[in-house]
Structure formats: structure tokens, C-alpha cells
Amino acid sequence: MSFDIATVRADFPILSRQVNNRPLVYLDSGASAQKPRQVIDAVARAYEGEYANVHRGLHFLSNLATENYERVRAIIARFLNAPHEDEVIFTSGSTEGINLVSYGWAAPRMGAGDEIVLSVLEHHANIVPWHFLRERQGVVLKWVEPEPDGSLPPEKVLAAVGPKTRLVAVTHMSNVTGTIVDVGAIARGTHVPVLADGSQAAVHMPVDLAALGVDFYCITGHKLYGPSGSGAMWIRRDRQAEMRPFLGGGDMIRTVTRDSVDYTDPPLRFEAGTPGIVNQIGLGAALEYLMDLGMDNIAAHERGLRDYARDRLRSLNWLQVQGDAPGKGAIFSMTMQGAHAHDLSTILDKRGIAVRAGSHCAMPLMEFFGITASARASFAMYNTTAEVDALVEGLTFCRDLFA
């Protein structure tokens, strides 16, 4: 499939609707992306004619549902170029995935004084699980600040690694500034295990786990044009072998007696209970859609949007954009003197433009920039330069309103 923006937009039914009597301009994909017809149809088909619980039945529908569900593991492995399919663990999203690593891998091997290196760019999902270890086990969190432009040089992260460092946990792409972090260089530069939060990066550019060399990598389905409640955590086999189960229940055991339990092999060892069957099937459809379009094609289209939006926003000398790292993604966090971010979002919404306002689950980064909130426009593969123009016109309207 070649990348044609008109054809791509036609695949997303919601983009044809109006909001406040204006065409919808959806610039909040960093929070959650819209869904193409291919995903909607896959979810409907799974519920309408193919649904049953997985792994536990011998009847036709259970076998069919299991086959459709389990094939998603191979799709994710192909999407991320993971070395082994059984390294893909299904989760409800990145938050569950990072908590899985925190509880299942980090907690049993870390004690008082052991260190975890984090960057100030992190989403709360890659901060709070490590605070649990700080509170409960005396683990020390070592923070690495970005440069003033929002960039995060790998050598700065590596400089924070010391003899007591047990993990480096860092985002692959900031959800606030679009900064892309060279997690491969970080992984190559240290013997310490590296967890990369791929929640944003995997949406906007090709990811090659075989080349990156990290130990843990998470994705979240609802940002990848799939259903909410879907996602995966990729964990290298040798790290899986070091882990204890995170949740207990069905599917993750071989046998259970009154006196003992025998756990099954990974990845099912870390997937207790009835999973989000249809959510994961929908994620598989989303990833196949992305691969058909080509992640390189999507990245090229979004680079064009980024460059166009950057030039247009720079022309607004009364607007402050937080972070302008070289090679960043098409995400822009903005403030305007005299107007709160919530005001900007509300006024833009009246013009049919959806942006996010607040701290974006990144309070340490807000503090670093000296603000409490920003308005964020996050672009996706279905956005156009005309929508950039609509955003600039909307921001200009806001400026005039508050002048």
C-alpha cells in the first residue's frame, strides 16, 4: 500500500464529522489515536462471529479465538523486529507493562541504595512504578535533565550510571516535546539493563529491537490506532528468566494444589486471567495496517508535518514552544503569556480543533520548563498541512482575544 493522505484519511470514519459546526481537526493523537475502519471491522467481526474465551476450550469458537488472538503475538514481533515471538508479553498498555517489570523483575533484585536512572522527560507511567520501589525498598532514583532545547544526549544518561545502578528507564520519544532519545546508544554504552518506553516512538517511526539492544520495550495499543486496553511488553528471554510472576490466576500455571503451584513458561507466565481478547485482535489489525502503509512512509509524512508546523509556529513570536530538539517528532507543547493552557484548548475546541491541555502526565518536565501546564498539538499520519494552518489561525484568534 502506498501512502496517500486522502486515502488514509478516508480510512478513519471519525475524521469526516464536525465539532461545533466546523470540520474536526484532531491534534490529540499523542493522548489516543483515532481508529481506522480496518480496526473497527476487526473488532466487530471478533465480537459478532468469532468470540469465545481463549486457551481453555476444545470447541470450534474457542480454537478460532485462540488462533486469532495468538497470531497477534507474531504480528507485534514482526512490527518491532523482535528476535523471538515468545518475548512478547500481552498487556493492557505501557502502564501495565512497566509495572510488570517493576514488580516482576526489579523488586526482587533491588534493595536500599540501589539506583535507577531516569530522565526528566518521562511520562508518569515510567516514574511512579519506580517510586514504589523508592518508597518500599529504599531504591534511589537518579534524575537526568534534558538540555534546554529538550534534547537528551545519550552520554548525559550514561554519565549518571554508577556502580549501584541496576536499571536505566528512559523514554524513546517524549510525549510532551517529541524529543527522540537514542536509546540504542544508551544500551550499547552500558552493561546495565535498559528499559525503553516506546509508547510514542513506535507510533511514529520504525522500531528495530534486534538493533536497539535494550532489555525491555513497551508499546500501548490505543496510541497505535488500536483499541484501548491493548498493548505489549517485549522482554528479552534472559530477563524473563529472572522474573517472578506479576499477577496470579488462570493461564499462568501448569498445576495448582493445596500446597504448591507450578508456573507455566513465558510469556503466559506473565499473562494471568482472561485477557483483553478482542482488544488485542484489534491491535493486531492496527499494526498490520501500519505495516501495509509502511512505517518509513508514515515517518516521512510526519516529518513534513513537523517541519511545516515548526516553521508556522515559529512565526508566532508571542507563542512559546517547549522543546525543539533536532530530529524531534511532530509534537508541539505550547504556552502563551496571559492565557492558561486550558483557555487555549477550550477556545480551539470551539473552532473544531482538538488539542490536549495540562501537565500531560509529565510533571517533572513541566517543572523543568518552569510551567504548570501547556497546550499540546500532537500530529499523526492522518493530519495535513491544512490542519496546521487551522491550528495557527486558531492560536492567532486566541492571541487577539486575550490581547
Angle at 223 between CA 220 and CA 226, to 5 degrees: 85
Burial letters 99-109, b for 16+ CB under 10 A, else e: bbbbbbbbbee
Cell numbers that stand for 248 in this block: 496470579
Q: Would you kindly state where each structural domain of the chain is located, as residue ranges?
A: 5-30+294-402, 41-292
C-alpha 72/C-alpha 247 separation (Å) is: 21
Whether 398 is a known active-site residue: answer no
C-alpha 357/C-alpha 343 separation (Å) is: 9
Is 150:328 a contact under the CB 8 Å cutoff? yes
Q: For the beta carbon of residue 66, count every other beta carbon within 10 angstroms.
A: 17
pLDDT per residue as tens digits for the range 25-50: 999 999 999 999 999 999 999 999 99
HEC secondary structure over 125-162: HHCHHHHHHHHHHCCEEEEECCCCCCCCCHHHHHHCCC
The pLDDT value given to residue 384: 98
15 DSSP assignment:
G
- Residue 398 sits at φ, ψ, to 5 deg, of -60, -45
C-alpha 164/C-alpha 113 separation (Å) is: 7
- In 3D space, the residue among 306, 387, 296, 375 whose CA is nearest the CA of residue 342 turns out to be 375
The pLDDT value given to residue 56: 80
Counting as low any pLDDT under 50, the low residues of the chain are none
C-alpha 383/C-alpha 388 separation (Å) is: 8
The pLDDT value given to residue 112: 98
Cell numbers that stand for 105 in this block: 523483575
The pLDDT value given to residue 1: 57
Domains 5-30+294-402 and 41-292 share a fold: no
Is 95:122 a contact under the CB 8 Å cutoff? no
C-alpha 245/C-alpha 123 separation (Å) is: 25
Expressed in angstroms, the distance from the first to the final Cα of the chain is 48
Cross-strand pairs, 130: none
- Per CATH, the number for 5-30+294-402 is 3.90.1150.10
Q: Give yes or no for a cis peptide into 267 (omega within 30° of 0).
A: yes
Cell numbers that stand for 15 in this block: 475524521
- In 3D space, the residue among 355, 391, 393, 397 whose CA is nearest the CA of residue 376 turns out to be 355
Residue with cell 537526568: 144
Amino acid of residue 204: H
C-alpha 101/C-alpha 111 separation (Å) is: 15
C-alpha 236/C-alpha 322 separation (Å) is: 35
Amino acid of residue 219: I
The pLDDT value given to residue 214: 98
Catalytic residue among 361, 363, 371, 392: 361
- For the domain made up of 41-292, give the CATH fold: Aspartate Aminotransferase; domain 2 (3.40.640)
The pLDDT value given to residue 57: 84
